[in-house]
Amino acid sequence: MEATLRGRRVGSWGDVGALSFYATKNITTGEGGMLVTSKAELAERVEVLRLHGISRDAWKRNGLAGYNTGKR
């Protein structure tokens, strides 16, 4: 937590930082991890990749409105 190296926070180098939350780490989520970035476009791309290429909008078709073909 709050780790630094040469005065910079861990995960702040480059475009993306990767953090592991494996069971042997100080903060655990089983086998989880986290990517951090300050670039909005990159963050949006990673969000799509984490869902295997499906955007959040694709999930809306399974909501209360369902898939609408225009026919009843």
Which of these is catalytic: 25, 39, 60, 71?
A: 25
Question: CB 10: neighbour CB atoms within 10 A?
Answer: 13
25 carries an active-site annotation: yes
Distance from the first to the final alpha carbon of the chain: 55
Contact between 1 and 26 (Cβ < 8 Å): yes
Looking at the annotation, which residues are catalytic? 25
